[in-house]
Chains A and B, each alone.
Chain A
Amino acid sequence: MNQQESYNTAVKRYIIGGLGSVFFILLTYMMVTREWFANPMSIAFFVLLFAFMQLILQLVTFLHVQTETKPRWKSIGFVSSTIMILVVVGGSIWVMYNLNYRMHTSPEAMQEYMLQQNKKGF
């Protein structure tokens, strides 16, 4: 990476990254154990938000993404994989949600149906 970077700056980066991550982990922990939110959607939203904050923090402090010199192949690779991941994960969840919706059964009803079928045997 960069040889010019002094020992102290390098160590400081890891300390910042480590303490920052601990902060977000504890925030997630407190949020669910102290029950700051009752709504599951807002819990999920904040948990994912804190996870992405840690992702960015660790990419910068541990994996040194922003100190890369041009051409920024690592960043380009990361962005293109992120796009593909969004398609794979987002697409799968969307398709399966749609499937549930179009079959007009709630997950609970589907569960019940599957259990009944299971009892009949194959």
Chain B
Amino acid sequence: MNSRTAVAEKRDKAELGFWIYLMTDLMLFAALFATFYILRIGIADGPKASEIFNIDYVMAQTLVLLASSVTSGMALVSAKFQMKKQALVFLAATIALGLSFLVLEMNEFILLVNEGHSWTTSAFLSSYFTLVGTHGLHILIGLIWAVVLFVAIMRRDTIGDNHLRKLGLFTMFWHFLDLVWIFIFSVVYVIGVYA
């Protein structure tokens, strides 16, 4: 009982600390959102948002990332109930979906740059690449973290308290990134194109 509460206490502390990190990260994204919102009219002689963004493509990205957010949560639940195989399957699905999201995003960036609409074209595109690129960088770091966790969990017979705690933190990070993407989808792509 005593060690159980000690474990719970350690987990709660780690979660609170990580939560505070997420809040500071939120400030970073808030600043980038403000920058984007102000600079989005500064298109110079570059393209408008409605000329370069395709809503169907972004919808696919959004749904893929949402699915990976749900599977990461499912991996955590499975791990809590010591279903190791199921946890690994869900974690692998999270990695696969996250990777597809990143590939879709990089593909969009490469297409834009190849069409001559790079970050040097206008203030709008600079702020767009900075905001979406920062999110993509977070996704990349999250993917590396998930792969490390996957290998660590795979190598043990049972899921220990440390791995469970780390998986919990990763899941928080991943849900947070999905929430940030919801706002990128709404503000950059939907409002940017239609409003």
A, B co-complexed: yes
Residue A96, interface by CB 8 Å? yes
Q: CA A84 – CA B24 in complex, angstroms?
A: 11
Residues in B whose Cβ lies below 8 Å from that of A59? 179
Residues in A whose Cβ lies below 8 Å from that of B172? 63
Partner of B195, one of A40, A78, A81: A40
Contact A55 to B182, CB < 8 A, known contacts A25-B59, A47-B190: yes
Q: CA A115 – CA B136 in complex, angstroms?
A: 32
Contact B194 A93 (CB under 8 A): no
Partner of B175, one of A58, A89, A92: A58
Contact A62 B175 (CB under 8 A): yes
Residue B55, interface by CB 8 Å? yes
Residue B94, interface by CB 8 Å? no
Contact B38 A43 (CB under 8 A): no
Contact B26 A81 (CB under 8 A): yes
Contact A22 B191 (CB under 8 A): no
The main secondary structure of chain A at its interface with chain B is helix
Chain A proximity mask over B166-195: 1 for CB below 8 Å, otherwise 0: 000000100110110011011100110111
Interface set, chain B 142-167, CB cutoff 8 A to A: none
Number of interface residues of B (CB under 8 A): 48
Contact B178 A58 (CB under 8 A): yes
Whole-angstrom distance between the Cβ of A44 and the nearest chain B Cβ: 4
Whole-angstrom distance between the Cβ of B192 and the nearest chain A Cβ: 10
Partner of A88, one of B31, B74, B77, B194: B31
Given A85-B30, A111-B41: 15 more A-B contacts, CB < 8 Å: A14-B77, A18-B70, A32-B190, A43-B190, A47-B190, A51-B187, A54-B179, A77-B16, A77-B23, A81-B24, A81-B27, A88-B27, A92-B37, A107-B41, A118-B44
Residues in chain B within 8 A of chain A (CB atoms):
15-16, 19-20, 23-24, 26-27, 30-31, 33-35, 37-38, 41-45, 55, 59, 62-63, 66-67, 69-70, 73-74, 77, 80-81, 172, 175-176, 178-179, 182-183, 185-187, 190-191, 193-195
A-B contact pairs, 8 of them (CB 8 A): A3-B80, A17-B70, A47-B190, A51-B183, A62-B178, A77-B16, A88-B27, A93-B38
